[in-house]
Amino acid sequence: MNCVVDSDCGYTGFLGGEFCSQGGDEILKKYQNSSCFNSGTADSFCQITTNDRVIQDCDDGNLCNGQEQCIGGKCQA
């Protein structure tokens, strides 16, 4: 048996620091999701996925006070 609950597979949540999208209009952060499948059985296994999630949209004037670029993980004029 490899896992019974998702937490047996590791951490679920944000990882590392913030960074800018390639277009420079969003601030992103890595998010890891750890899941247990077929829990509590001999066929149980863990799946860990990591993806980029938008933390802040730098095109939204309400969030970035009208500043237009994302530089070093922060909205910049």
Hey, what are 74's tokens? 């922060």
Hey, what are 41's tokens? 């059985």
Give the pLDDT score at 22: 73
Average pLDDT score, the chain: 82
Query: Which position has the higher pLDDT, 66 or 50?
Result: 50
- Taking residues 46-74, what's their average pLDDT? 71
For the whole model, what pTM was predicted? 0.71
- Model confidence at 75, pLDDT cuts 50, 70, 90, reads low
Spell out the residues 6+ positions from residue 12 whose beta carbon is closer than 8 angstroms to its own.
6, 32, 33, 34
Three-state SS string over 30-56 comes to: EEEEEEEECCCCCCCEEEEEEEEEEEE
